[in-house]
DNA sequence: ATTATTAAAGTGAGTGCTCACTCACTTACT
DNA sequence: AGTAAGTGAGTGAGCACTCACTTTAATAAT
């Protein structure tokens, strides 16, 4: 079923259950320890596979890492497209995305952490290999929707849709971090209040107001 | 002059020039390689100091890292307070902060990278030691200004100033990353256009419109 | 002035541990 | 009988940290 490019044929021939097991254990390790300090021997152990087997599946550590990124990317794409398919209007999509970020906490946490880890300069080496793919999934989507909305005079005219897409995605990314990474969780509580994470609806509402304001405001001078 | 808490007295007794040398080399190493893979022997070499001396200055690698964070924090605080002291009104401060982020590129790059690196889960261990300090510098500042502005009816009433402070700072942080980290640089270009980094004024203008919209918009229903 | 004394600062080869990766081998499948 | 898949002790490189030692500098004794 799932086919990856950065691994050996042996790995691709494994059944999905085993592939998932190995990759989820790896993602957990990489996101928690970073690329360099994640330990392949330990990963193999936790995944119930021998070290030797791991090196039959992946040429080296780097290849394992890339395969994890591939998987995360597939995960993201499917999440995004399911949202877009369901919701017709732009504001609906934005709200839905925020909702997905909030709800997908547990399930997506490791993916988000990995994504965050990857963007660190330390891993710049492969970051670029995947960056355009990840952002490609979302950037054009937002910008296209905003341009469309601007043409139909649904949102203010005095802004560049590309910048707005950028700013909105910035907010999404930080929200994702704030729901996934310990540091940013604490930071969000510091800015707002201790029980924010019990108040998903409120966060969504406030975020929507912020974004709507940014989109609809028109300066009279 | 500069006094640190996470190091030995021997280090504090060094002249500022040498302290700066050691810390800037260390910050560079930590931000580029992450905590685990930064090499103390190499750092010592690059700073023109023996390994033994390093361990006279810092009890261990962790202590060196914490001292780097302390220094970054001092840097941030002084930057922020110089902005706040100069500018009287809230919008002025926001614009000034964006300007500082853009201008301080070269000088602050290593600090930003370190900050980013630190927030990674891998370093959660010490992140928390410093998080509240870092955010404490900014969070209360913004929230207080916004509350004030709200009382004076200068901005919309239907939002929680704490959330708005949070969202605005989220935008700042992403902007900082976008000006410092390779990955986020590329991402910004992908969203906007290739020469964005030659167009500081334009970025500032667009960001201000976005934020102003968010702050001033009022919904009529 | 010169020399002795002592403490503080600095040195870098060495130690022991961690970990990516290998390879001679076993097991399972056809 | 032959091939594909899997095993895990072993290897060597990298690196945090140590320690027996040297250098520097400041003060005291002659």
The structure tokens listed for A67 are 């395969």
CB contact under 8 A, A214 and B217: yes
More confident residue, A42 or B216: A42
Residue B208 has pLDDT above 90, yes or no: yes
Distance CA B162, CA B146 (A): 8
Q: What is the pTM of this model?
A: 0.89
Q: Which among A116, A122, A167 has the least Cβ separation from residue B210?
A: A167
Give me the phi and psi of B67, to 5 degrees please: -65, -40
pLDDT for residue B121? 54
Show residues of chain A in contact with B207, CB under 8 Å.
Answer: 163, 167
- For residue B194, give every residue at least 6 positions away whose Cβ sits within 8 Å of its Cβ, in sequence order, or none: none
Which residue has the closest alpha carbon to C10 C1'? Answer: B53
Chain A neighbors of B118, CB-CB under 8 A:
183
What would the mean pLDDT of A189-214 be, rounded to a whole number?
95
Residue B8 burial by CB count (10 A; 0-12/13-18/19+): exposed, middle or buried? Answer: middle
Contacts of A172 by beta carbon, 8 Å cutoff, 6+ apart: A97, A98, A101
Note whether A183 contacts B118, CB cutoff 8 Å: yes
Cross-chain Cβ contact A135/B36 below 8 Å: no
DSSP assignment letter at B196: G
Does residue A195 sit at the B interface (CB-CB below 8 Å)?
no
Q: Which nucleotides of D are covered by protein (CB under 7 A)?
A: 4-10, 14-20
CA of B151 to C1' of C22 (A): 70
Report the residue from B160, B191, B209 with minimal CB separation from A166.
Answer: B191
pLDDT at A151 over 80: yes
Q: Two tokens at A1? A: 């079923």
A160 touches chain B (CB under 8 A): yes
Q: Protein B58 CA to nucleic acid D16 C1', in Å?
A: 13
pLDDT range class, residue A127, cuts 50, 70, 90: low
Contacts made by residues A61-66, CB under 8 angstroms, sequence distance 24+: A61/A35, A62/A126, A63/A6, A63/A7, A64/A7, A64/A26, A64/A40, A65/A26, A65/A30, A65/A35, A65/A126, A66/A6, A66/A126, A66/A129, A66/A130
Check CB contact of B131 with chain A, cutoff 8 Å: yes
Q: Which residue has the higher pLDDT, A77 or B22?
A: B22
pLDDT at A126: 63
When pLDDT is cut at 50, 70 and 90, the band that residue A131 belongs to is: low
Q: Which of B204, B206, B218, B165 is nearest to A216 (CA)?
A: B218
Reported as type and span, the H/E element at residue A175 is: helix A161-180
Please list the helix, strand and coil fractions of chain B in percent, rounded to the nearest 5, in that order.
Answer: 80, 0, 20
Please give the pLDDT value at position B217. Answer: 74
- CB distance from A212 to chain B under 8 Å? yes
Q: How confident is the model at residue A159 (pLDDT cuts 50, 70, 90)?
A: confident
Contact at CB, A181 and B36, closer than 8 angstroms = no
Instruction: Report the pLDDT value the prediction gives residue A221, as an integer from 0 to 100.
Output: 41
A56 touches strand D (CB under 7 A): yes
B130-147 pLDDT, tens digit each? 667 776 667 667 888 888
Looking at residue B221, its pLDDT comes to 41
**Spatial distance from the CA of B37 to the C1' of D13 (Å):** 14
Cα separation of B80 and B92, whole Å?
13
What's the pLDDT score for residue B177?
86
Check residues A19 and B34 and name the one with the higher pLDDT: A19
Q: Which nucleotides of C are covered by protein (CB under 7 A)?
A: 8-14, 18-24
Answer yes or no: is pLDDT of A217 > 90: no
Asked if residue A26 has pLDDT above 90, the reply is yes
* A21 CB neighbours strand D below 7 A: no
> B173 CA, C16 C1': separation in Å?
42
- Closest partner residue to B122 (CB to CB) among A34, A128, A165 is A34
Q: Rounded to whole angstroms, how far apart are CA atoms A120 and B212?
A: 31
What is the percentage of chain A residues whose pLDDT exceeds 90? Answer: 48
**Average pLDDT of B151-176?**
91
Cβ contact, residue pair A122, B159, below 8 Å: no
For residue B100, what pLDDT is reported?
86
Distance from CA of A122 to the nearest CA of B (A): 5
Provide the percentage of residues in chain A whose pLDDT is more than 70: 88
User: How far is A82 from A78, CA to CA, in rounded Å?
Assistant: 6
Q: Is the CB of B174 under 7 A from strand C?
A: no
Q: What is the mean pLDDT of chain B?
A: 87
Mean residue pLDDT of chain A comes to: 87
| C-alpha–C-alpha distance, residues B173 and A207, integer Å | 17
| pLDDT tens digit sequence for A58-80 | 999 999 999 998 998 888 888 88
Strand C reaches within 7 A of the A51 CB: yes
> What pLDDT shows up at residue B89?
83
B212: confidence class by pLDDT, cuts 50, 70, 90: very high
Residue B48: how many other CB atoms lie within 10 Å: 11
Would the Cβ of A41 be found within 7 angstroms of any atom in strand C? yes
How far apart are alpha carbons B209 and B221 in whole angstroms?
Answer: 23
**Residue B84: exposure state from Cβ atoms within 10 A (0-12, 13-18, ≥19):** middle
Once rounded to an integer, what is the mean pLDDT over residues B92-120? 82
CA end-to-end distance (rounded Å), chain A: 59
- Between vectors from CA A77 to CA A76 and to CA A80, what angle results, nearest 5°? 85
Nearest nucleotide relative to B39: CA against C1': D15
């Amino acid at each position: 079923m799932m086919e990856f490019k950065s691994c050996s044929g042996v790995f691709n021939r494994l059944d999905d259950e085993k592939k998932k097991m190995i990759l989820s254990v790896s993602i957990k390790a990489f996101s928690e320890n970073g690329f360099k300090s994640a330990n392949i021997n330990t990963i193999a152990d936790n995944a119930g596979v021998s070290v030797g087997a791991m090196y039959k599946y992946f040429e080296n550590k780097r290849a394992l890492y890339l395969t994890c990124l591939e998987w995360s990317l597939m995960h993201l794409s499917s999440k995004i497209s399911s949202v877009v398919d369901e919701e017709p209007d732009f504001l609906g999509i934005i709200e839905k995305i925020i909702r997905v970020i909030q709800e997908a906490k547990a399930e997506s946490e490791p993916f988000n952490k990995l994504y965050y880890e990857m963007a660190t300069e330390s891993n710049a080496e492969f970051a670029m290999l995947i960056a355009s793919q990840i952002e490609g999934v979302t950037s054009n989507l937002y910008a296209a929707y905003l341009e469309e909305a601007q043409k139909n005079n649904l949102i203010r005219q005095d802004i560049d849709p590309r910048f707005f897409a950028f700013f909105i995605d910035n907010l999404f990314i930080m929200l994702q971090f704030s729901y996934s990474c310990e540091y940013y969780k604490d930071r969000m509580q510091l800015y707002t209040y201790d029980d924010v994470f019990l108040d998903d609806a409120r966060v969504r509402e406030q975020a929507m107001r912020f974004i709507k304001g940014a989109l609809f405001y028109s300066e009279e001078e």
